[in-house]
Structure 1
Amino acid sequence: MKKVLLTSSVVTLLLTTGNLHPTAYALENSVVSVDTTQSMPIQAVEGEEMDQHVVNLFTDITGHWAESSILNAIERGIVSGYPDGLFHPDNQVTRAEFLKLTAGSLGTEVDSSSKSGLWYDVYVKSAKLNGLYSESDFPANDWSKPMSRLEMVHVAVRAIDQAASTDKEFMYIAVKHGLISGIGNGRLDPEGTTTRAQALNVLERVQQIHSGQTLKVDAMALANAEHALNATTDYWGHVIRTTNLPKNEKNYPYILEEYPNEMYEMKPYQTIDTTSTQLSKTDLAYNSKPTLDLWKKTTESYYDHILNVDYRTINEDWANETFSYANQSARKWLADLRRYVEYVKSNKITITGSLIAEPSMVMRSNTFGEYFIRVKFEFTLKTFDKYDKVMFDPFINYFPTKLKKGMRYEGYADIPLSTNRNDYDLKIDGSTSLFNFGSIVRPSK
């Protein structure tokens, strides 16, 4: 890898209220004292004594699977904790944050002298100059979006001086070199989000490879990566399976390996009367990849806001950004979002989560003129004072089971898309809900 040296400062990861997506954890350039009640700052101790000191400071890393990687990153000055005295190893990492962590891990200096632009622009520029990032890696180009495992793999593979031409090849190289392991039974989970712990673990492995070490390889994950490398895929590079098919396989033009039959067999939203297979034969929008890409991005961006709120950082920008992905004819929606912002603050609500919209699972209600896109999601209601209307969703209060604080939930839903214009630039419809008719919501397995 070619290195371009610029000028830089110490790299740390901290919680801030900068000009980012209000729920994103931003990267800044200065160290914040994590716990002023401790007698020794982290920098004052070394070796095993330092390890124990850090564990005492950040009690949520004790016994964590990535504890050693976290300790190593803290010792090297790559990352720090949060002002609440915790490390939060399972918090999601955004694309921008991962690029900054990578710069710190590799010792790649960046030009921090520029005062214009957003805080992460210098890290994007540095990653480009050093061959770690290509503009095709992140089609949406939204740097505050949580980084997927596949996106992380693109950067990590280049960081060990390897190259690939397809997503499947990037994943295969990453597994073959031991950069990543599978998520249970060798599952690759390319669309899954990246946590702080995972990011630091991967970057530690990058360092180990640079030092000449040969890493342990997950045999099951490697077999899955090899299978994916040689398998038939759809337009998005997802592997199509031909065995163990869902009972209603005829409703879809093909079935993907990464989704369980349960997602395909879920009862459609009540107004849907046209299947994906029927659309694939005649529908212009369904057969346009750019159109489906737009619908996927719109849906995921909307729910990236809904499923990631923090009473400490949320503001009116959150409401305005969220509404930008909604059908603009519903102006009352914006007012409701602004009221929800104030409610989040007063009710001390914190939610973390993610959502994947699957473009091959688009259906339609010809009767009502709406398209629907099926989604897979997960979320955790981390904090709140009152359970009432804890999430911005019109049907959450009618969900028959009261959701528990701190429990991770997962499920599937059909999200309606519509517009007040006569085109295919569809937005989230006002009736959207993760808890509506036919949806599946349950504690994570």
Structure 2
Amino acid sequence: MTTKILKNKGISLLLVLIIIFSCIIAPVQPATAAASNKIKIYNFIKLLVPAVGLEADTTANSPYLKAALAAGIVKEGDFKDYKADLTRVDAAVLLNRADEYLNGDKVDPELLAVILEKRISDIKKIPAGKREAVGKVYAKGLIVGKSNGMYIQNRAFNGYDYLTTADAKKVVSLLTNTKGRAKLSPDGQLIRTTNLPKNAKSYPYILEAFPNSFYEMKYQYQLATYTWKPVEGKDYASSAKITTAMDSLEIDKTGMCIYVDDWMKKVENNLKYRLNVDYRTINSTWVNNLRSTYFVYKNESSNKKTTDDIKEYMNYVKKNQIVIKSSVISVEPSSLYFDQSYRVRAYVKFKISFPGEKKVQEDLFFARQTIYLPGLSRDKWFEGIYDIELATGNGSSNGSDFAIFDDSLNDYYYKGE
């Protein structure tokens, strides 16, 4: 009996020792594996040199570095230690130089400006002298960063993350395999080419950050009842064929109205001001900013009424201590379509707060048209997708004076998912 007990205790002690030993050793393994996955600066250069067709004298010391220096892919003073792990920022600098050595500098300056301003969310964390290279590799579809979430129109570059060996080999292969590069929209957003919406042909392209439900929401003209057979380009136009409805406007060589960017900014500002309201700070500046996004009538009394209505709403906000805060407002230019006027689709996420009893929903928001938000609850985030209309009172307009006409936030037809 005593021998059996001692034997059992011995087994128990052995098991405890094994568990303790495992706990000590186990955490080290992933860290070691992760470290081995990082590529060193010199090894990245070693991949770049043959990829661009350079020859290295392997009888010399650091032959690949010497070849890269001679070609301008690496410059004196770039690095203190070539055995250090390579960051994504420095990979972008080297990769861009290699691509320009091989293919020339072909990035559209306007696209680059948009990418640096709007599409890389953490661009300011990158040293100023390296931002252009980061923007260029993004524009070329070589390194496009990571998603910031659905409906978010920028991406995180994560420049101080380290590049893995697998990722390094992939991006270097794209120097010659240009068809394998990520595809970008004309305004620098990542395009999706798989799992497309049923009506993908109605749009010029489908974006990675927008779900199929955004695109499959029906256009307003598809909900209308006609007593005649409507003609595309005259009575309506899908987003893919929007230029067929712009003959009377001032257009560029692609057929697009040159003022579309101004339209998008007005819609974005309109939603920004209406969905960011604070009774403690709302003032005449807010009133003027919101008013500047709206349709201008030929009749001055009608114009004054719009301004007066905004002022009246401001007083209501102050009196009822209303706070509206948005977290996302995404106005997507590629969704612009025509149904006797121009409409563009926008996703919004916001919440509203106020003390006291429940209030009439139409009073809580400023709108010239309809507010219908079933399911809206105080202090809870609310999401929706809405088609905002742009128009003008000038029958001979070239497009420069288009502004918000129908500002409805109306979930009667559709609730965003």
Q: What is the TM-score with the length of structure 1 in the denominator? A: 0.52
The reply to whether residue 237 of structure 1 matches residue 211 of structure 2 is: no
State the number of aligned residues.
272
Aligned CA distance change for structure 1 residues 268 and 346 (closer, same or farther; 3 Å): same
- For the aligned residues, what is the CA RMSD? 4.0
Contact 1:358 1:373 in 2 (8 A): yes
Aligned CA distance change for structure 1 residues 441 and 333 (closer, same or farther; 3 Å): farther
Match among 290, 294, 305 for residue 322 of structure 1: 290
Contact 2:111 2:186 in 1 (8 A): no
2:374 is aligned to 400
Letter in 2 for 1:362: L
For residues 310 and 413 of structure 2, what CA distance do their matches in structure 1 show?
25
Shift, 1:158, TM fit: 3.0
CA distances 1:351-386 after superposition (whole Å, capped 9, x unpaired): 1114222111111113xxx11111121111134544
Aligned CA distance change for structure 1 residues 312 and 174 (closer, same or farther; 3 Å): farther
1:158 is aligned to 127
Paired residues for 1:8-407 under 5 Å: 150=119, 152-159=121-128, 161-164=130-133, 165-166=135-136, 168=138, 175=145, 182-183=147-148, 189-191=152-154, 230-269=181-220, 270=223, 273-281=236-244, 283-284=246-247, 287-288=255-256, 290-329=258-297, 330-331=302-303, 332-353=305-326, 354-366=328-340, 370-385=341-356, 386-388=358-360, 389-393=363-367, 398-401=372-375, 403-407=376-380
Q: Which moved more, 1:236-245 or 1:254-263?
A: 236-245
Which one has a bigger Cα radius of gyration?
2
Aligned CA distance change for structure 1 residues 375 and 280 (closer, same or farther; 3 Å): same
Structure 1 gap ranges (5+): 1-133, 140-146, 176-180, 193-197
For residues 396 and 155 of structure 1, what CA distance do their matches in structure 2 show?
40
Contact 1:364 1:372 in 2 (8 A): yes
For residues 204 and 180 of structure 2, what CA distance do their matches in structure 1 show?
21
Letter in 2 for 1:327: F
Letter in 2 for 1:373: V
For residues 153 and 372 of structure 2, what CA distance do their matches in structure 1 show?
33
Contact 1:358 1:375 in 2 (8 A): yes
Letter in 1 for 2:308: A
CA distances 1:17-66 after superposition (whole Å, capped 9, x unpaired): xxxxxxxxxxxxxxxxxxxxxxxxxxxxxxxxxxxxxxxxxxxxxxxxxx
2:389 is aligned to 416
Shift, 1:278, TM fit: 3.0
Shift, 1:390, TM fit: 1.2
Aligned CA distance change for structure 1 residues 188 and 160 (closer, same or farther; 3 Å): farther
For residues 276 and 345 of structure 2, what CA distance do their matches in structure 1 show?
20
SS at match of 2:346: strand
The reply to whether residue 438 of structure 1 matches residue 389 of structure 2 is: no
Higher helix share: 2
For residues 162 and 297 of structure 1, what CA distance do their matches in structure 2 show?
25
